[in-house]
Structure 1
Amino acid sequence: MHYTVKELLTLEEFQDAEYIGTKQSLAKNIKGITVIDSPDISLWLKGGETILTSFFPVKDLSDEEMKDWMHKLADKKISALIVKLREEFKSIPEPVLAVCKERNIPIISLPTAVPFIDIIYKVTRKIFNQDVEKLEYFREIHLRFTELSIQNVSDEVIIQTLESLIGNPVTIYNELFKVIATTDSEVELFYESDKFQVEENIKNTIFPIYRRFVIYPKLQDRECEQIMIPITTVNQTKVMLVISAIHSGFSDFDFIAIENAATALSLNLAKKIAISEVEKKYKNEIIDDLLSGDIKDEADIAERADNIKFDLNSRSAVVVFTLKFNDKRVTSVSRERYYNILINNIDYYLKNAIVRERFNQVIVIWPVHSGQSNKKKEMNSIKRSLRYVINKFESAVSDARVYTGIGTIADTVHDLPKSHKEAQEVLDVNEMSYDYNPILSFEELGIYRLLYQFKHDNNKLKEFIPQSLQRLLDYNKSNREQLIETLEMYLQCQQNVSRSADRLYVHYKTVSYRLDKIKEITQMDYEDANEMLSVQVGLRILEIMRKE
């Protein structure tokens, strides 16, 4: 509830006053009242005050100086200018009239017989009573929401209480604007008609308040004002408290209720995170024991696994995810956000997934429910789901790539450590390869399974490089790398010159010339299948050594 210029004019002191201003100016909110006693009064104003003046302190100012003086008052958003003329001024100065008209400041001209002190007393008492009323309302609302927090009620109860106080529907969204809870499903979906603006009229609030206009398609495309309060807790987890003004606007009392509801939701969120962290730690310990094979007491592990809803008798494969960022300077906040998006996508396609986040990896114990004995089909089913997860992630994130490693399917819980080790090996090999392959299983590693064992021993790896390829590596000319690239592509294309030329974006004869040059340098026999296999292995070794 505001004390406005319109209400001010109902005082008996203004019976014979002259109002100079617009109809809209009557709605201006009066936040205080003061008398001008010096030209630099604007320095001491807080904003929203009504100013009383006889112009005596500024009687010596020129027209330009008086304009500048009025603009400074207007910058402080004064609500009205109450004027009582003395003998120094026969009428309101033209510079004052001009600025007040330009800045939409109402002027109230009083008869000289009306004392300023009577007006100051009545306005101050009115504002004081309003402040007392707000404080009493704040105390009542604060107690109400504090009791809800103590009772450990749900978010739904908090927003239902808020709706009953302000008369408008309330919705909670997560950071991706997915609905967590709402009091009216018709306002869940909306389209922006303008951008959020910071609410500047509400001072000293715990939470920032933003407002904008949106369109609600379920309400026949009706446009209404919307207020949003972002609520962030200790680990930067954020939810949005959104109120839709479909029934009425917002008063100061409404903002008191909104802020107290936001505080209660913040406490709820903090409690949920604390509980979640404890549950996560407990869950991670069980997963670590399962993946390491640290199962000393079968009965104990069975009980603990049951607590996280993992069936020890089920068949499953271990899948390890990691993200590679285009920008190596990515912040820890962005990194955490992207991994959360990835985990949410895994949960979306694999309900109640057994997920463990460790360092820069996400480890999933992926259940196999097919009941088939055909492991190839089961693995294809896992890959199909992984493709959905990755596609959904990449549709939301453009500056990071997903890499996965899939271990072999574990028939019993005792096979999980082996599946985990294999998945980790696949991921390591996948990261070493120059070709981006987001989904790779242990069975697909081929020769890499052997070479991976020596990835840290370059001397051992070099033993597998055939002499013919070594001659090309020793070729000390500027086009050496070009020749190696051509040889790699030639073997990748099953020794098809035309296809190699297409993929290298060069002419057919260029590839033929390069292959002849390679043959001249290395004495390779392209018709010898065993030698070509050795060269392919040697090129794979080069990949590993380059990555290392």
Structure 2
Amino acid sequence: MTTTRIPYEQSSPSFRCTDLFEMNSLQGLKLLAGRGNLDNIISRVNIMEVPDIQNWAQANEFLVTTGYSYQNNMDAFLELIPHLVNRGVAAFGIKPKRFIAEIPQKIIDCAEAHGLPLFELSESTIFSNVVREVMEKVITFEAHNILLLQRRLEQVSELMLHGYDMPKILEVVEEMIGNPISILNAFSQFIASPEQMDYFKSFYNHLLGFDSRSSPKHSTIQVEDAAGRCVNLHVFNLWETERDPILVLLAEKNGACSDLDLSTVSRMLPLLNIRLSSENTYKLVQAKYFDDFLKDWLMGCIPSSEDLDIKGQFYGYSNLSACCYRVIIVKFHSSLQPTPDSAMLSKLNHMDPESPALFTAMSGKIIVLMPQPAGGGNVPPDETEALIRLIAEACGTTNFSLCIGESSAPLSINAGYIDTENLYIASCISRENAKLITWKQLGIYTILTLLPKHANVDKFIDRFVRPLVQYDKAHNSSLIPTLTAYFQMGCNIKLTALAMYTHYNTIVYRLDKIKTMLGISFDDAEARLQLQLGLKIYEMGE
């Protein structure tokens, strides 16, 4: 099937100020000011013979007057000009001789300064004939535009029925309206013709702050393109679901959009909605099966490398068995954490086509499978930063950590998942909230968090910690904080006193009290070790 380009000049015919010179009812028409705006579109005509016409003037209107209302007040006539410009009046025609002898030069100068086309109508001009002829011309052009709009919609419908992909359909629409058009889908991905893809990507950061839910169905924002030019960007809201808005973007890259161009895009929205709905439904079903595949992989249900590669290829991932992986669990710091539902996971997996990360959810937690770089080692910082940005954008918060497990072979992912799950639990117990959490960072908690609940652990706490806790509670004292600070300061009493803003002798008294209560000596390395372990285990329990 071939498509026919509709030239831009033909695609938006309108009745303009220049066409007034060709009207039979305006013989002898003279232009006095506003030559630079003779391409203003005229969509209606009005006769002005009342002093408050500025309250009733409409955009794209051709106003004609004899000046009757202002014959005795030329200053008010002068003040009228800026009001008409603000109302969007297309042109102003004055018929002198009857009520005003001639059009004052100061009115001509004011119209020129404001860019308002100002015409002098001949004495023989009949206003009713002007109204009739202008409206006939306007209606003729509007009828032509309606036919063009119908042709455009039929062409787009035909492309969709013949199964053309969205970039090709958008390319044809661009040829119709003379400006680039794109779609920002529910996965924050741009759909555009190949030539315009990079152009629209430059607007992505501007659109991050665009509140589509509270914005009207069609709004216009000013953005700066990659070349540094300020352009108008028309944003049309197309809702796939209440949660995931789809934006249709029309940029005035090559010139201002006509009403016909905007109507073309607006009338296309139902067609685009049908097409995108079917595509999105397919993607959601595919995402569900892909998520099941990732869960099977994490649970060790993929029997061989061949099965892994075949299933991965089906979902667009080649050679999954060719590298090792780290399992990463996202740990949110707030109890009000995002719910990793299918929509969020689909967004995470599709938001950045360049990201190697694979996302799923287990037990209400976001799980990431990150390919291990060749030669082993840690995940590269740039990939880690990109992963953090991706999760933050999808979840709407930066208040989280990444628990990064050890590297695992592709068929040993289940062991890697269990290892990372233990790391996640250990980080929660130890209250570790660094941005990146590994076993190395947890220190002694690597072992302590794996201690099972047992009566001997309670006996150990009863022996070395609980007496101090009970004493602090009964006497409103600070034995536990003092002992903790003492060990943190390397068993240096002077540094402990400075850290606690407490007198040296007070610290000595508290430490002696602890030794007496527990029946130990701080000179005994074994006793100090038991005390430190007891404090750590007690903190974990708390």
TM-score computed with the length of structure 1 as normaliser:
0.70
Note if contact 2:191-2:197 (Cα within 8 Å) is conserved in structure 1: no
Cα drift, residue 363 of structure 1: 1.2
TM-score computed with the length of structure 2 as normaliser:
0.71
Residues 40 and 346 of structure 1: is their aligned pair in 2 closer, same or farther, counting only changes over 3 Å? closer
Distance 1:281 1:340 in 2: 9
Q: Which runs of 5+ in 2 are unaligned?
A: 1-12, 208-215
Q: Is structure 2 residue 253 aligned with structure 1 residue 245?
A: yes
Residues 482 and 84 of structure 1: is their aligned pair in 2 closer, same or farther, counting only changes over 3 Å? farther
Residues 110 and 38 of structure 1: is their aligned pair in 2 closer, same or farther, counting only changes over 3 Å? same
Q: Which runs of 5+ in 1 are unaligned?
A: 197-204, 371-376
* Residue aligned with 1:534, SS: helix
Query: Which residue number corresponds to residue 48 of structure 2?
Result: 36
Alpha-carbon displacement from aligned partner over 1:176-226 (angstroms, at most 9, x marks no partner): 99865544379649989xx99xxxxxxxx954344556453xxxx8x5856
Alpha-carbon displacement from aligned partner over 1:412-444 (angstroms, at most 9, x marks no partner): 86x655654443342233134344334445686
Query: Which residue number corresponds to residue 273 of structure 1?
Result: 280
Query: Which residue number corresponds to residue 124 of structure 1?
Result: 135
Distance 1:21 1:478 in 2: 93
Note if contact 1:471-1:522 (Cα within 8 Å) is conserved in structure 2: no
Query: Which residue number corresponds to residue 426 of structure 2?
Result: 429
Alpha-carbon displacement from aligned partner over 1:95-148 (angstroms, at most 9, x marks no partner): 977875664433323233221122112211211111111111111111111222
Distance 1:345 1:259 in 2: 26
Query: Which residue number corresponds to residue 524 of structure 2?
Result: 528
Kindly report which structure 2 residues correspond to 1:206-355, keeping only aligned pairs within 5 A, or say none.
Answer: 207-212=218-223, 214=225, 216=227, 223=229, 225=231, 227=233, 229=235, 232-234=238-240, 235-236=243-244, 238=246, 241=249, 243=251, 245=253, 250-256=257-263, 259=266, 267-291=274-298, 307-308=314-315, 318-324=327-333, 348=354, 351=356, 353-355=357-359
Kindly report which structure 2 residues correspond to 1:104-503, keeping only aligned pairs within 5 A, or say none.
Answer: 104-167=115-178, 181-184=192-195, 188=199, 207-212=218-223, 214=225, 216=227, 223=229, 225=231, 227=233, 229=235, 232-234=238-240, 235-236=243-244, 238=246, 241=249, 243=251, 245=253, 250-256=257-263, 259=266, 267-291=274-298, 307-308=314-315, 318-324=327-333, 348=354, 351=356, 353-357=357-361, 361-366=365-370, 381=377, 383-385=378-380, 387-393=381-387, 400-406=398-404, 419-441=416-438, 445-451=445-451, 453-454=452-453, 463-465=459-461, 467-476=463-472, 484-485=480-481, 487-488=483-484, 490-492=486-488, 495=491
Q: Is structure 2 residue 38 aligned with structure 1 residue 20?
A: no
Residues 481 and 124 of structure 1: is their aligned pair in 2 closer, same or farther, counting only changes over 3 Å? farther
**Counterpart residue type for residue 384 of structure 1:** V
* Residue aligned with 2:14, SS: coil
**Counterpart residue type for residue 253 of structure 2:** A
**Counterpart residue type for residue 431 of structure 1:** C
Distance 1:347 1:542 in 2: 46
Residues 140 and 345 of structure 1: is their aligned pair in 2 closer, same or farther, counting only changes over 3 Å? closer
Query: Which residue number corresponds to residue 47 of structure 1?
Result: 59
Cα drift, residue 32 of structure 1: 0.8
Residues 62 and 280 of structure 1: is their aligned pair in 2 closer, same or farther, counting only changes over 3 Å? same
Distance 1:389 1:496 in 2: 42
Residues 179 and 275 of structure 1: is their aligned pair in 2 closer, same or farther, counting only changes over 3 Å? closer
**Counterpart residue type for residue 33 of structure 2:** G
Cα drift, residue 319 of structure 1: 2.8
Cα drift, residue 157 of structure 1: 0.9
**Counterpart residue type for residue 321 of structure 1:** V
* Residue aligned with 1:34, SS: strand
**Counterpart residue type for residue 125 of structure 1:** E
Distance 1:232 1:461 in 2: 60
Note if contact 2:327-2:404 (Cα within 8 Å) is conserved in structure 1: yes
What is the aligned residue count?
505
Note if contact 1:486-1:514 (Cα within 8 Å) is conserved in structure 2: no
